[in-house]
Amino acid sequence: MRRLLCFLLLFSTFAYAQSPYILVLGITQDGGYPQAGCNTPNCMDAWEGRRPPLYVTSLAIVDPQTKQRWLIDATPDFKYQLQLLKTNTQNASNELAGIFLTHAHIGHYTGLMHLGREALGAKNVKVYAMPLMQRFLENNGPWSQLVSLKNIDIQPMTDSTSIVLNDRISIRPFTVPHRAEYSETVGFRIRTNNKTFVYIPDIDKWSLWKKDLNDVVKAADYAFIDATFFADGEIPRPMSEVPHPFVSETMKLLEKLPKTERQKVFFTHFNHTNPLLHPDTPQRNAVLKEGYQVAVQGQIIEL
């Protein structure tokens, strides 16, 4: 009996290790935590070492069976996140199967600079981009140099059209309303044979989107969504200038869902002012009590 239990344990561990998974590489808004110029007690805790710094929001998709690794977004913390990915996968190579970009705000694409001749000097890394994002990279330096030197190989994406990554994983971009100074903005729906994972790190108010977030959550196994700010008044400027949905608004929108559905929701992309960044705040405890989850850097989500 003991031998059978040991076999089952080993089998289940092997099966888990071979399943595709998401690795959370960062959870903060574009400026990171602590943020440049921030001297509040919240940031000083990080500057002075009482809290660890946290990376800008990014995910890795990992297939341990094929040893393929993809990134969603290339952040200013790219070099640290690449190392985190290498450590997690026990694969010291710098090889990436591709990078998927959500949009052209600084926290989501500027890490591409590390692929250039001044750093990695990468060769033909596939970078998946929507049409305006592709045009922006091809026609503006220094990004255009990455294209001309073949550090990156841009792969066009089309709204709501799936891209097959391998026999077990596909990914589909879908446009969402968000400030479009340089490019459109997309979220992603990642599918495996077993799970559906939705990722929306940046969006304007939910009411501006043609889809109902309740339906999006119900149709997914996991939904990582924009939680830049917890509530109005969080920063000393008109918050209409940065019209992300407040966590308080999102919880109100989803309050009629049963707790089993709310547990699918992971908040991410936190501004340095957001109390959800830190453990044991009243706001974080209230969010968890309602069944929602808070994304954690280094977290693994099995697909």
User: Where in the sequence is the domain holding 143, given as residue range(s)?
Assistant: 20-295
Tell me the C-alpha to C-alpha distance, in Å, between residue 1 and each of 6, 8, 13, 157. 9, 11, 18, 53
Q: What is the per-residue burial (b if ≥16 Cβ within 10 Å, else e) of 32-49?
A: bbbbeebeeebbeebeee
Q: What is the CATH number of the domain that holds 204?
A: 3.60.15.10
In this structure, is residue 157 part of a structural domain?
A: yes
Interatomic CA distance for residues 212 and 56, integer angstroms: 27
CA dist., res. 257 & res. 38, Å (int)? 37
Tens digit of each residue's pLDDT (9 = 90 or more) over 176-232: 999 999 999 999 999 999 999 999 999 999 999 999 999 999 999 999 999 999 998
pTM: 0.93
Give a yes or no: residue 2 inside a domain.
Answer: no
Mean of pLDDT over the chain: 93
Report the number of distinct structural domains present in the chain.
1
pLDDT at 236: 83
128 pLDDT above the threshold of 80 = yes
Neighbours of 189 (CB within 10 A): 21
Summarize the confidence of residues 144-155 as an average pLDDT: 98
Residue 6 located in a structural domain: no
Residue at 12 is within a domain: no
Neighbours of 152 (CB within 10 A): 23
Alpha-carbon distance 173 to 290, whole Å? 29
Residue 182 within a domain: yes
User: Is 63 within the bounds of a domain?
Assistant: yes
Q: Are 147 and 69 in contact (CB under 8 A)?
A: no
Quote the pLDDT of residue 12: 42
- Structural domain includes residue 3: no
Tokens of 275: 């109390």
Is 1 within a domain?
no
